[in-house]
Amino acid sequence: MPTQYPHVFVEGDKVKELQDLLEPLADLLNQSGLKSKQAAFNRHYNDLVKAKEIASWESISNYLNELTGDHLTAKSINTLFHRAKAKVKKQLGQSRTVVTEPIALSRSGSNVESHLGTEVEEPKASNELLNQYLKVCFNNERIALRAIEGGVSIDTIGTWKSPNPVRLGNTLTNYISKK
């Protein structure tokens, strides 16, 4: 990389490792059907974590810019990375068990890359319990699940006599935070 990419400052055997980590991201950024740069960074979050252990954001941005022809700054790449990190944390926080399986994405022709992607969540509440909560939660599954996870009883929710789901959601938030 130092001879081929003069603006990337990584030495020795780490050059090949950095190339292997960042080239799939660069290929995805070059695709015409890409939804957004953030989507690419979300998909390659784990590779970026490893790349950051090897090189600085400046080196990573220089390398990606040379491969893609973009003009991303180290700050913008850092921002995209932290947004991806927040999304991963949010996804992991919502599900108790996350099973990742490789899925194939094809890129014009026979070049196929495998990425981690599918998530399978274990059920948070039984259907019977959920249905009981839905009756007092205006059939709003999100509010019902929050109530179940917060340990709020159906009777307690009934005593609030909330006129609509918005008021119920606010009351639930206040109740759980004061618990």
Read off the pLDDT of each residue in 134-142 and give the average, rounded to a whole number: 92
Cα distance between residue 153 and residue 170, in whole Å: 16
Read off the pLDDT of each residue in 156-174 and give the average, rounded to a whole number: 94
Percent of the chain clearing pLDDT 70 (strictly above) = 75
**pLDDT band per the 50, 70, 90 thresholds, residue 143:** very high
In the block, which residue shows the tokens 């700050």?
A: 75
| 98 pLDDT above the threshold of 70 | no
Read off the pLDDT of each residue in 90-94 and give the average, rounded to a whole number: 72
138 vs 101, residue with greater confidence: 138
- Please report the pLDDT score of residue 114 as a whole number: 44
**pLDDT band per the 50, 70, 90 thresholds, residue 124:** low
| 16 pLDDT above the threshold of 50 | yes
Q: For 17-26, 84-93, 168-177, which range has the lowest pLDDT when averaged over its residues?
A: 84-93
What end-to-end distance do the CA atoms of the chain give, in Å? 56
The pTM assigned to this predicted structure is 0.47
Write the CA distances from 95 to 13, 88, 122, 131, integer angstroms. Answer: 38, 11, 7, 20
Q: Among candidates 49, 53, 60, which has minimal Cα distance to 19?
A: 60
Most confident listed range (50-59, 121-130, 165-174): 165-174
